Amino acid sequence: MSPLRTTVVMKTDISGSTSRFRQLLASDLKALLSEHRTFLAQHAEEHGGRIIKAAGDGYWLEFASVTAAAQAAIRMQETLRLSQLNRGDDRIAIRIVIALGDIAAQDDDFIGDAFALATRVEAVTPPDEIYLTSAARLALTSAMEIQTAFVETFVFKGIVEPMPVYRIEQRHRTRIISDNYILWLDLAGFGRIMDANPASSTVELLLWRHLRSVAKRSIFNRS
């Protein structure tokens, strides 16, 4: 066994994957998991992290600091939300846990208290959330403006003392979506037409003709 060293570990897990994956062909499942691994690896690398081992449909990652891990986690959750706006309940949601503690390499694997604690915290972490152990939360760099909130104190199996758990408060930033248009219509005298013909086919026909006319002019002007 290699000597113990203190490091930052992150545990990810796809929420509700068991029932969803049963419906996929083996080839589709393999492609999905491969794409997900690449996604995690890229975001981790951007913040100085790396995947150190797989864990089912999730992964263990290592970072040089809690702040770097938190930044990577926030980016992962944000990117997943923005890339799946139209997928509804079919979207992929992950839970993320960040822990600070000792680990060691043994027989081509990793062991240590950080893994045990992160596994316990993962069990109480909801989808789309990022939870922190108390040690990880204390090691956050306050200058980076990463806000945390106390969740609850839990009693975990195998851990003597009750453990306070925290979560990262993710702030949804405004983003510019290019090449999109908002069309605002206002028909003069529409109120009088509605009063005379409430919910009638005449009103529907009038609206349809007006929208078609506007659409044609818009296409013509853009070309």
pLDDT digits (tens, 9 = 90+) for 52-93: 998 888 899 999 999 999 999 999 999 988 887 777 667 788
Instruction: Note the pLDDT of residue 60.
Output: 94
Maximum separation of any 2 CA atoms in the chain, in Å:
86
Q: Residue 60: helix, strand or coil by DSSP?
A: strand
Dist CA 36 CA 30 (whole Å)? 10
User: Rounded to the nearest 5°, which phi and psi values hold at 212?
Assistant: -65, -40
* Mean pLDDT on 29-48: 91
Looking at residue 182, the DSSP 8-state letter turns out to be -
Instruction: Indicate whether 95 pLDDT > 90.
Output: yes
Name, in order, each residue with C-beta under 8 angstroms of 13's C-beta and a sequence gap of 6 or more.
Answer: 55, 56, 57, 58, 94, 95, 96, 122, 125
Instruction: Indicate whether 148 pLDDT > 60.
Output: yes
Dist CA 215 CA 223 (whole Å)? 12
> 130-133 and 94-106: which strand pairing?
parallel
User: Rounded to the nearest 5°, which phi and psi values hold at 51?
Assistant: -80, 130
Is 156 in contact with 120 (CB distance < 8 Å)?
Answer: yes
Instruction: Indicate whether 20 pLDDT > 70.
Output: no
Which one is predicted more confidently, 168 or 217?
A: 168
Tokens of 29: 């499942």
Cβ atoms within 10 Å of 62's Cβ, excluding its own: 19
Length of the chain: 223
Mean pLDDT of the chain: 81
Instruction: Note the pLDDT of residue 25.
Output: 78
* Mean pLDDT on 196-205: 62
Instruction: Indicate whether 175 pLDDT > 80.
Output: no
Instruction: Indicate whether 18 pLDDT > 60.
Output: no
Tokens of 166: 């925290």
**Domains of the chain listed by start with CATH number:** 5-168 (3.30.70.1230), 190-222 (no CATH)
Is 100 in contact with 163 (CB distance < 8 Å)?
Answer: no
Instruction: Indicate whether 185 pLDDT > 80.
Output: no
Which residue in 28, 10, 175, 174 sits closest to 100, CA to CA? 10
Say what percent of the chain tops pLDDT 90: 40
Instruction: Note the pLDDT of residue 57.
Output: 81
Continuous segment of H or E residues that includes residue 166: strand 163-168
Tokens of 39: 């996604």
Instruction: Note the pLDDT of residue 178.
Output: 58
Which one is predicted more confidently, 175 or 32?
A: 32
Instruction: Note the pLDDT of residue 215.
Output: 64
Burial class (CB in 10 A: 0-12, 13-18, 19+), 20: middle
